[in-house]
Structure 1
Amino acid sequence: MSAQTEEATAAPPAPTTGKGGAPPPRPGRTRAGRAVPYVLILPAAALLVLLGWTMVKNGLLSFQNLNRRQLIRHVTEWTGAGNYRDALGSAEFWGVTGRSVVFTAANVVLIMVLGCLIGLLLARLGTKTRLLLSLGLLLPWAMPVVAATTVFQWLFDQRYGIVNHLLDQAGWHSMAGYNWTGDQLSTFFVITVLIVWQSIPFVAINLYAATTTIPTELYEAASLDGAGTWKQFTSVTFPFLKPFFLATTFLEVIWVFKAFTQVFAINEGGPDRLTETLPVYAFTEGIGSQHFGMGAAISILTIVMLLVLTAYYLRLVLKQEEDEL
């Protein structure tokens, strides 16, 4: 074989070029391929723009004195921070805020305790029983909030409710015609039962899914050390699933704190506005009293409180990540 033949054999193939001497496009880097990520994020971006514009409009409204007269005359009256001063200086606002915090705390504690217990039960059941219980949990979680609230209004109805009937049949004859929405505590009881009933499935099913990620060797080692059920939970399950408990508790706090439909539909914040939480209070002051600027200011203050909670949650998450490192 000649030297020229050997050089021709050893030389790498000349790179092909595209149009005009440009290198050919890479596989998967066509114009359509480059556009796919932007198309996928388009719905989220559109939603973000919509929410952002709504927040901007609501923020501008909170600095205005807007009621029926201004709407009819198409007049904009700027009041600066007057609505915020009136809200923050009102004893009623702080009373509703304290009530909302207590209401949220009570609901979240019940949701997390009962949801975790049911989630741990799911982890110990057989396949068929677990499937049956999971289906039973999905039904209340998938039910629309308005439909579930309507069902609970019928269940606790003063004259025709099944709850009063069952209590009467059980020997509590004084409950035969009991008005569950007649006072503050009983109304909050009905609302709490409704919210907890609809929120437990999320915690239970997610906890069960999280327990499947725990290595069985940890439980075997704990059993060899003589650890019982409670000790296994505190020494194995809870430390391993601490991020889950933290994230789920935070989500439940947000969802319960901003709950509007259940509280308003049961008794519209009554009796005597004693069961109003901040979302209902903002609606009543804004739409009900037609002082839209004040309602917008209260809603902005509610969002600020949620942002403070979010910042505290993120701080805990970052601290936990630092500890793990």
Structure 2
Amino acid sequence: MSVRTQEAPPRDRVPVEAAAAPGPPPRRAPAGRKGSLPYLLLLPALALTAVFLGYPLVTNGMLSFQNLNMTQLIQHLTEWNGVTNYTDTLGSETFWRVTLRSVVFTAVNVVVIIVVGTLVGLLLARLGPRMRLLLSVGLVLAWAMPVIAATTVYQWLFAQRFGVVNWVLAELGFGSMADYNWTGSQLSTFFVISLLLVWTSVPFVAINLYAATTTIAKELYEAAALDGAGAWQSFKSVTFPFLKPFLMVATFLEVIWIFKAFPHVFAVNEGGPDRLTETLPVYAFVEGVGNQHYGTGAAISVLTILILLALMSYYLRLVLRQEDAEESENEGKKG
């Protein structure tokens, strides 16, 4: 007679049901709290923006609908005149002439700044560590210099009698430039202002584009060299596609900064000679504060903002169209 014995299961073996038993579900944040967190984090910035930017804009907009001159300001009178300031400004030939001048001035300076800044950024990428550090320090110092201090330096450089530029030109054989008045004509004054703007704006573009070049893998250049690509072809097929987003952002910012540039233009010659170098911000200041027509100056400043928004909306539309075209092209390549 045989007795069957049942083997005991080994101690280190865990039943499958026990191993697969689910534990307590992880705790998740409520959907409402998670969705409102980004807005709560943005509230301080939005509140500061509303106080320091929104309040002056609203106040300026209200002033643009008033007849506010020195008489009303002294007597604390509020005279609403509707859209008279806007109709008078839009009907003025001077306003449209200054607007065209501002657009051309902005376009020329932005093109020069982007081209020179790109070249300097590519130069930074090719220099050695010591020369790169030296050039970077020079760019940062030029960028960090206060606007009025930089304007004063340029006034000394281009002074008529004791300016360094006239002295150098005279020593090089250009005797007629010994006492040349750089602020005596429209083109020469704009040349000095543009040189000042380019000198203070190129560092921003150059440093940002150099930072963008550091994200490009060296293997891409090696592969392009193996395919027989030269310097221009490598830039066109490898460097430029990576720099394109940074160039678009830099162009967007430079258009805003150059279009609204006030101290550079006003401090050099106060919009002269004969108000031929006034841009829209300087024109608004001269009409509002200089001629004490504060309502008219406020209307010009509002129109300046609207013109800038119109220019930026057109540029943003072009950027979005280009991005959509690139995305569709990439999807076509994947398909």
Is the shorter-chain TM-score for this pair beyond 0.5, marking a shared fold? yes
Amino acid at match of 1:282: A
Give a deviation string over 1:17-51, Cα, whole Å, max 9, x none: xxxxxxxxx9xxxxxxx999957852552133221
The amino acid that maps onto 1:153 is Q
Secondary structure in 2 aligned to 1:241?
Answer: helix
Alignment of 1:151-190 (within 5 A): 151-190=153-192
Give, in whole Å, the separation in 1 of the partners of 2:297 and 2:62.
12
Change (3 A) 1:13 1:270: closer
Task: Rate the CA distance shift 1:176–1:47 in 2: closer, same or farther, 3 A.
Answer: same
The amino acid of 2:110's aligned partner reads: V
Provide the C-alpha distance between the structure 2 equivalents of 1:250 and 1:35, rounded to a whole number of angstroms: 30
**Distance (whole Å) between structure 2 residues aligned to residue 36 and residue 249 of structure 1:** 29
Q: Deviations over 1:34-88 (max 9, x none)?
A: 9999578525521332210110010011111110111122221111111111111
The verdict on how the C-alpha distance between 1:37 and 1:99 changes in structure 2, with shifts beyond 3 A counting, is closer
Q: How does 1:197-208 map to 2 (within 5 A)?
A: 197-208=199-210
> Normalization by structure 1: what TM-score?
0.86
Match runs of 1:89-238 below 5 Å: 89-238=91-240
Give the AA of the match of 1:139.
L
Following superposition, the deviation at residue 94 of structure 1 comes to 0.6
For residues 217-242 of structure 1, the C-alpha deviation after alignment (integer angstroms, 9 at most, x for no partner) is 22222212222111211222112221
- Give, in angstroms, the shift of residue 108 of structure 1: 0.8
Counterpart-to-counterpart distance in 2, 1:244 and 1:218: 19
Larger Cα-atom Rg: 2
2:18 is aligned to: none
Counting aligned pairs with the same residue, the percent is 68
Q: 1:35 and 1:319 mapped to 2: Cα distance?
A: 32
1:253 alignment counterpart: 255
Number of residue-to-residue matches in the alignment: 303
Which residue number corresponds to residue 64 of structure 1? 66
Change (3 A) 1:238 1:13: closer
TM-score normalised by structure 2 residue count: 0.84
The counterpart of 1:86, out of the listed 68, 88, 91, is 88
* Residue 246 of structure 2 is aligned to residue 244 of structure 1: yes
Counterpart residue number, 1:49: 51
- Whole-angstrom CA distance in 2 between matches of 1:115 and 1:41: 36
Separation of aligned partners in 2, 1:317 and 1:105: 17
In the alignment, the residues of structure 2 paired with residue 309 and residue 102 of structure 1 have an alpha-carbon distance, to the nearest angstrom, of 12
Residues 295-304 or 312-321, more deviating: 312-321
- Note if contact 2:212-2:242 (Cα within 8 Å) is conserved in structure 1: no
Deviates further, 79-88 or 40-49: 40-49
- How well do the aligned residues superpose, as a CA RMSD in angstroms? 2.6
Q: For residue 278 of structure 1, what is the aligned residue in structure 2? A: 280
Aligned amino acid, residue 238 of structure 1: F
The answer to whether the 8 A contact 2:170-2:178 is kept is yes
CA positional deviation for 1:181: 0.5
Is residue 264 of structure 1 aligned with residue 266 of structure 2?
yes
TM-superposed deviation, 1:268: 0.1
Distance 1:155 1:45 in 2: 44
**Offset, 1:314:** 3.1
State the SS of the aligned residue for 2:65. Answer: coil
The amino acid that maps onto 1:92 is T
Shift of 1:316: 3.4
